[in-house]
Amino acid sequence: MRKTNKSIAGYHLLMILSAVDYKFHSGEEKVIREYLEEEFPFHVNLDNELEVISALQPSDWKDHFEFQAHCFLDDSTEKERKEFKQFAKKLIKADSTVSEREHDFYSLMKTIWKM
């Protein structure tokens, strides 16, 4: 797997968090759009990133999520990680229900980041 920068890693993390409960809620899409607008004030083509994420099997999600969490950690400040954590929390609560898998992945991210 190739290392990604903080912004791309964050996109991967949010997309996987939105998928782990096997439901995609419009509120989750809104959070991802907010993140993209904040991280990319200019148009960026994420088609290649979406292809990578879409090609993952559910059994691959955890490993990919861990890798991207490490990429984000390597390329971010503590403040940026705290801010991103709020995006992730908002995303998993977007449908008013936090599944066990969403909680597990969110907790995994926080553990990797020592939060």
DSSP characters over 6-53: HHHHHHHHHHHHHHTTS---HHHHHHHHHHHHHH-SS----HHHHHHH
Assigned fold of 6-112: TerB-like (1.10.3680)
In whole angstroms, what is the distance from residue 104 CA to residue 49 CA?
23
Mean per-residue pLDDT of the chain: 94
pTM of the model: 0.94
* pLDDT over 90 (residue 111): yes
Look-up: residue for tokens 């990797």?
112
pLDDT level of residue 6 (50, 70, 90 thresholds): very high
* pLDDT over 80 (residue 41): no
pLDDT level of residue 24 (50, 70, 90 thresholds): confident
